[in-house]
Structures are given as structure tokens and as C-alpha cells.
Amino acid sequence: MENFTGETPVSLVSKGCDVMLWLIPILPAIAFLVISAFFVNRLRRIAPYILILALAVSLLISLSALPRAPLSGAEEARLGWFQADDLKFEAGSLLDPLSAVMLIVVCGVSLLIQIYSVGYMAGDDGYGRYFAYMSLFSAAMLGLVISNNILQTYLCWELVGLCSYLLIGFWYRRPSAAAAAKKAFVVTRFGDTGFLIAVFALSLYAKEFNFVALQQRVGAGEFSTGFLTVLSLLIFCGAVGKSAQFPLHIWLPDAMEGPTPVSALIHAATMVAAGVYLVARTFFFFAASPIALIVVACIGAFTALFAASIAAATNDIKRVLAYSTISQLGYMMLGLGAAGYTAAVFHLTTHAFFKALLFLTAGSIIHAIGTQDMWELGGLGKKMPVTAMTCLAGALALAGIFPFSGFWSKDEILASAWLRASANPLFYLLFAAGLLSAFLTAFYIFRMWILCFAGSPRTQAAAHAHESPRVMTYPLVVLALLALISGFWMKQSVPGKGLPFAEFIYFGPAHEGEIAWLMLLSTVVAAAGILLAYLAYYRGSISVISFHRAFPWVRKGMKNKWWVDAAWEFFATRIVIAGSAAAAWFDRHVPDGMVNGVAWLCGQAGLRLRRVQTGQVQFYALVVFAAIVVFVMLLRLTAGY
């Protein structure tokens, strides 16, 4: 089994305060304060422009930081907070290839989505509140990306979770939205507990939070493999929750209750990517533990296939995209687990673009027509051409068709899995799972596209649809361009650096070149999926109904989301509550019992001793005389009176 050692030496550590880099998360934070203070009610029309301004400046700073990012090692800036023993609590920024790329992606996609939101959220009462929450989210997410120590990462992690809660439940008067927000928070909290325990473990055993320092110490072999395995798995718990991997994926489909731009930003491009980012950031832990890598890869591959199968049977546009996100995140985890660090991060960036695009086009449809059920749409290609074309671009990218962006990144992940298989045959199975999910991905996304845009309108509303305003369509076009070309472009040369992506972001030995037959295979598989969708939904030559009659369990399983939600509900309502009842019984009888018992004892003693107070003076006198006699006897016997 190969063993990666973190061979990334730290060459540049600047102790000063790097103001420019710091501004990236600070500007949206200032925007949050300004918007919440002044622009929530009457002046709310102005609110979005403050955020857009902040994000634009942050984007410019991020772009200027990219050429500066050191190829090996990292540029760091730290601000000490306090120190306890040898454990330093600090706030800091870390500029290395990973964070540089991620910053640009987050800033860029956020900016485009905020511009889109100006159109989408127009007229809503909570317009100002929306942008306030969005700016807080942006600040937290950028703080997470730029963080140089795991404690700051955790802090920002929780903060983005909070913003997710606030934004999912944005239309809080709707009970389903409130419930979905609660579910998201609770389920991710579940995973976050593992992450928190990992932070505790680090503070206790390593006495260090800083990523660069930890990487050096891991590279020097300071920690045992067992410790690193446990640590990695705990960190992965947090990633499972945040990135909606099985079994903690249940919150993401429900999170579609929030406004569509929220789904696009938080639940497609950035927050859910934070899990993948965390694993990439702490990859030096995982790389030292083969078991952790296998776990990551297995869960990733399983999730990818599992979610893709549910997506193929969903009728709600946003849910299809939600399950698609879960599935693609699974792909990224598979990539990381197969030691394809480059591939996973590459897929992270391309996914951010095309998934945000797909969500925004779905939002465009919802904005125009007001329904999310695909069976109520149809024929929108003629009425909403820009939306249809950009959606097609996104679909092609997602399905992984050459030469669009998704093709390059997905192909690299599958290649990593295949290459790893020579060292560990399990990866053949995971590779097959990946391939099958690629097929399903192409199928479900084109099913969605065909049902929405092709054919003829199925309802009146669809027949009277019109294209969205320019403030919404321009971001779509920009994202579509990125979705189409970013893959090819970045693979050949990352802008500002002139290097291929694989030489810019990597971990350990460099990734080997492409595998030609694999590229062909993945394209064929994707094309097969598209063909199936075309035949089934456009032509109708393959009957969906007879398929379901032949395999009824498939439909039942997919419709019931494979009973995972039901399983969690059983767990929560039966098992957890039974445990709570037992704990409550114990609490009532043992500690309370002891306290009550003491009180009972006092009462009994009082009851008995009360008899002494007879009220008869002679009795008291008798007691006095008796006592005197006793004392005299004692004195006689002991002191020799």
C-alpha cells in the first residue's frame, strides 16, 4: 500500500499582518453589519449593492492573490488571540494553491449569485434580511477557506451552519421551511460533534491547531497511525454532515425549501463544498492513514450511486439538483479517498460553476412559472431560450461530456480510482460504482432537461412562460461560459500562474497523465445515459411504465428515498427517546433519590427527637441530673478525680 508523506515544506511564513488577504472575509462582514444596521427595512433596495460591492472587491483581491500563491509551502499571516500553556489560539490566513483557487471560486460564484438574487428576490418583504444573512454567510465561508488553523475553521464552520439555518428557514412562516431549517441544523450538528472531538483531540495530544505546523509534525512521524486514523475519521464525520454524505444526507433535499439562490450558493457551490475542502485541508492526516482513505472513498462512492438513483425518480426540479449535489460530493470524496487530491479539488471547482448554474436556471423557471414539479412544465425551450441554453450547458457539464468542464474533472476522479485499484482491488468496485453513477447522472439530468424544456407545454402556466429579466440571465450566461470552458482551460493552464492545474494543486507525488481508454469509456457511458433519457422521455419509445412494472421494487425504493429518512426517524423517535426515558428514570431515582432520602432522614429524625420536648420541667431536671452523674463518673474513671 502506498503511503503518502506530506512533503510540502513551509518556506514562507510571514509574521506580519497581511492586510490585503484579511480583507477578503472582513469586507462581507462589514457589509453584514452595515446592512443589518441600516438597510433592512425602508432602505432595503440598496442592501444588495453593498454586498455586491464587498464581494467584487474581495474577488479582485483574491484574483490578485492567485499569482502570489507559493507553489510549495504557504504564505501565512497570524494574529494571536491568547495562549494557554503551549496551545496558541489565533486567527490567521493561509495562502496556498488550494485556498487561492477556492477563494476565487467562492467569491466569483457568490458575486454572480448575489447579482441574480437582485432579480429573483425582488418584491420580497425580507429583501434586506436576505442580503444581511447572505453577507454573514459570505464572510463566514471566506473565513473558513482562508483559515490557517483548525479552530478558526471550526468556528466559521458553525457560522456557515447557522447561516444555512437562517436562510433555509428564510420564509419562516412556512412550517415546512422551519422544519427543514431545523433538520439541517440538527443533522449537521450530529456530524459536527465528530469534528469537535477531533479539535479537542488535537488540543490535548498535539497541542497545536495550526495546519502548517501540524503538517510538519505529521510528516516528521510524530503521531501514531492509529491516532491519525481516529482523528481523520472524526474530521470526516464533520465532512459527512456538512457535505451531505450518506447517512447524514437527509437534510439537503429538504433544504430546498429555501430560496433558489440560497440553494445555489450554499447547498451547491460553497457550504457543502466546505466538507470536501476540510478533508483536502487536513489531507495530511488522511494520507497517513490508509484505513481512513478507504472509508472516505467507500462512503463517497456509495453516496454517489445512492443519491443518483434517487435523483432519477424525483419529480421536483430542485430535489433532482439536491440529490445531484449529494451525488457529486460523493464523487469528490471518492476522489480524495483514492488519493486523487488534484482530481477532487478540480471537480470541486467545476462543480461549483455548473451546479450553481443549474440551480439558477431552475430558479429562473420557478420565478417565471411558480411551480417546481417537472410534470407541470415542458416546452420551455421556446419561451425561455437563454435559460434553456444555459441549462443545457450546465447539463452537458454535469453529465461529463467532452470537452466541457465536468468531463475533465469527473474523468480524473475515475482515473484516480482506477489507478488506486492496482494497489487495492476494492477500488475496482468503487470505480464501477463511479461509472454507474456517471450513467445515472447523465440520465437524470437530461430527463430533467427534456421534461422542462423539450416537448410541448403540459400546463397553461408553462404555455405562458416568459424569459427572466436580464439581471438574472446575465449571471446565467457567465456561469454557462465557465461551466463550458473552465475544465479545459484550467487543465491546461491556471490563469495567473500559467501552470496546469495538476501541477498547481497536488499532494505527494504528481498525478500521472490521462488514460485514453478511460476518457472514451466515460464519454460512452454518459452518452448512453443521455440516449436513454432521450428515448424514454422525448420519444417515449422506451416505456417508463413497463420498466416499473417489471421491477416494482426499484420504483418503491427510489420513491421512498431508500427508506433512509424513515430509518433516521425511527432512530430518533424510538431509540433515542427510549434512551432518554431510561436516563430520566435514573435521574429521578438515583441522584434525586439520594437528595430526597437525606430530607426524609432528617424528617424521621425530627419526628423521633421531638418526643424529648415534653414540656415538663421535671423531665428536663432529671436529664440535667443524669448528665451530671454521667460526667462525674467519667471524670472519676478517666482523670482520677
Give, as ranges, the residues between 138 and 197 that touch another protein (CB under 8 A): none
| Residue 314 φ/ψ, nearest 5 degrees | -95, 145
Candidates 29-37, 131-139, 543-551, 615-623; binding stretch for another protein (CB under 8 A):
615-623
User: Using only C-alpha atoms, what is the Rg of the chain?
Assistant: 31
Q: With binding defined as CB under 8 A, does residue 608 bind another protein? A: no
Interface with another protein (CB under 8 A), residue from 577, 622, 632, 635: 622
For another protein, give the closer residue by CB, 221 or 603.
603
Q: What is the DSSP string of 364-401?
A: HHHHHH---BGGG---HHHH-HHHHHHHHHHHHHHHT-
Between CA 357 and CA 388 the distance in angstroms is 11
The CB-of-616 to another protein minimum distance in angstroms stands at 6
Q: With binding defined as CB under 8 A, does residue 638 bind another protein? A: no
For another protein, give the closer residue by CB, 1 or 612.
612
For another protein, give the closer residue by CB, 68 or 636.
636
Q: With binding defined as CB under 8 A, does residue 625 bind another protein? A: yes
Interface with another protein (CB under 8 A), residue from 42, 618, 639, 640: 618
For another protein, give the closer residue by CB, 578 or 629.
629
Q: Binding residues for another protein, how many (CB under 8 A)?
A: 8
For another protein, give the closer residue by CB, 563 or 619.
619
Nearest of 9, 520, 540, 67 to residue 284 by alpha carbon: 9
Q: With binding defined as CB under 8 A, does residue 422 bind another protein? A: no
Between CA 452 and CA 442 the distance in angstroms is 15
What are the CA-CA distances from residue 457 to residues 361, 376, 490, 565 (Å)? 18, 8, 39, 34
Q: With binding defined as CB under 8 A, does residue 632 bind another protein? A: no
Characterize the bridge pairing of strands 87-95 and 75-84.
antiparallel
For another protein, give the closer residue by CB, 423 or 624.
624
The CB-of-625 to another protein minimum distance in angstroms stands at 6
For another protein, give the closer residue by CB, 550 or 617.
617
Angle formed at CA 328 by CA 325 and CA 329, multiple of 5 degrees:
85
For another protein, give the closer residue by CB, 510 or 624.
624
Between CA 496 and CA 63 the distance in angstroms is 8
Kindly state the helix (H) or strand (E) to which residue 93 belongs, with its residue range: strand 87-95
Between CA 538 and CA 525 the distance in angstroms is 19
The CB-of-613 to another protein minimum distance in angstroms stands at 7
Interface with another protein (CB under 8 A), residue from 615, 637, 639, 641: 615
Between CA 472 and CA 82 the distance in angstroms is 46
Between CA 170 and CA 131 the distance in angstroms is 11
Q: With binding defined as CB under 8 A, does residue 541 bind another protein? A: no
Candidates 487-495, 570-578, 581-589, 610-618; binding stretch for another protein (CB under 8 A):
610-618
For residues 163 and 266, the answer to whether their CB atoms sit within 8 Å is: yes
Q: With binding defined as CB under 8 A, does residue 613 bind another protein? A: yes
Q: How many CB atoms lie within 10 A of CB 230?
A: 18
Candidates 138-146, 407-415, 462-470, 616-624; binding stretch for another protein (CB under 8 A):
616-624
Between CA 317 and CA 445 the distance in angstroms is 10
Interface with another protein (CB under 8 A), residue from 53, 583, 595, 621: 621
Secondary structure letter of residue 499 according to DSSP: B
Interface with another protein (CB under 8 A), residue from 550, 617, 637, 639: 617
For another protein, give the closer residue by CB, 571 or 619.
619
By CB under 8 A, name the binding residues for another protein. 613, 615-618, 621-622, 625
